Amino acid sequence: MNGPEVLVVVEVLEVRDQAAFDAYRAEARQQSSARGGMTLARESATFEGDAFGDLMVQRWPSEAIFRSWQESDEYRPLLERRRKAADLRLAVLPLS
């Protein structure tokens, strides 16, 4: 699946169940690593303006690979658990 590399920015907006969210993160990290996703940064300090929620930035070989994981049968049960545990905002940024 070709295309430019992308950065995926994840902002945690609200956590309702920290233990379930921590378990989700551990499993998601394993799955994403196996598909070529690499975490570049976690957390942040706001430089200007309103504070962000917790942030994470990942690098993926392509948007198609990231999306195929997000839509996979392997990830689906994790997605359901994550949606019960927390609300996130995700952005995909092509690298140029």
pLDDT in tens, 31-83: 999 999 999 999 888 899 998 889 999 999 999 999 999 999 999 999 999 99
| Rounded-to-integer distance, Cα 62 and Cα 60, Å | 5
Q: Confidence class of residue 1 from pLDDT cuts 50, 70 and 90?
A: low
Q: Which amino acid is at 73?
A: D
Question: Looking at residue 63, what is its pLDDT?
Answer: 96
- Output the six-digit token pair for 27: 């499993």
| Rounded-to-integer distance, Cα 39 and Cα 56, Å | 7
- The residue among 41, 66, 69 whose CA lies nearest residue 56 is 41
